[in-house]
Amino acid sequence: MRVLGVDPGLTRCGVGVVEDGRAREVTCLAVGVVRTPAEDELSTRLMAVADTVEQWMHTHRPDVVAIERVFSQQNVRTVMGTAQVSGVVALAAARRSLPVAFHTPSAVKAAISGSGTANKKQVTAMITKILGLETAPKPADAADALALAVCHLWRAPMAGRLAEAEARAAELARHHRARLKEANRSRNSAGRAGGPPR
C-alpha cells in the first residue's frame, strides 16, 4: 500500500509518501512542504496547496490519503486555515476516487513513538529511525506528514479487521433478532389456534 500523508497548514503544509513492505518495513518515497505566503489572498493560498497536492497524487499515485484531524485547542484562526486546507486535500483525493483517512495527533504520536503525548522532536527522531533516513525531515511539518502516512499503514489492517468484526457481529445480531421474531410469531399462532381455555 502507498500512502500520501498530509499535515495540513496554510503557511506550511507537510506532504510525504510512504510504501509498505515485508514485516512492517516502510520506505519513504518522497517528502516535502507546500509553503504559501501569508500576504497572499486565502483563495490563492488554497489553490497553491491544491495544485501541489494534486501534482503529488499524479506523480506518486497513492492508494489512500491520510490527513491529520483538526483540533480546536489551537487558536481559531489557525484552526480555520488548517480545516480549509484539509478540505481542499480531501476534495482533491475525492476527485481521484482516493479514500481519505483522518488520524488524530495523539493517535499518530502513539503509533510512531508509543506515547500519545510525544513532542515533535521525539516524533521526528522516531520517523527518521523507522524510515531509515540519513537526515531528519525538516521542518517538523514534513516529519509529521511522514508520521501520518506510517501511522495509517500500521493502523489500516487493524481497522479493517475491526470493521469486518463489527459487520459480522451486526449480521449475527440481525439473524438472532429474526429468529426470535419468528419464534414469537410461531408461539402466538399456536396460542390462537388452541382457542380460549374452557
5 has which bridge partners? Answer: 16, 66
The verdict on whether residue 166 carries a ligand-binding annotation is no
Task: Lowest mean pLDDT of 22-36, 41-55, 131-145, 161-175, name the range.
Answer: 161-175
CATH number of this structure's domain 2-160: 3.30.420.10
Q: What is the pLDDT of residue 171?
A: 75
**Strand order across the beta sheet in which 100-103 lies:** 26-35, 12-20, 2-7, 64-68, 100-103
Q: What is the pLDDT of residue 159?
A: 52
Question: Tens digit of pLDDT for each residue in 49-88?
Answer: 999 999 999 999 999 999 999 876 656 777 888 999 999 9
CB 151 within 8 A of CB 33: no
- C-alpha–C-alpha distance, residues 6 and 9, integer Å: 9
Question: Tens digit of pLDDT for each residue in 100-147?
Answer: 999 999 999 999 988 888 998 999 999 999 999 999 999 999 999 999
Q: What is the pLDDT of residue 166?
A: 61
The C-alpha cell at 17 is 509518501
Q: Is the pLDDT of residue 158 over 80?
A: no
The verdict on whether residue 39 carries a ligand-binding annotation is no
Any residues with CB less than 8 A from the CB of 58 and at least 6 apart, and which?
A: none
The verdict on whether residue 141 carries a ligand-binding annotation is yes
Percentage of the chain lying above the pLDDT 90 cut: 65
**Mind telling me the catalytic residues?**
7, 68, 141
* Average pLDDT score over the chain: 87
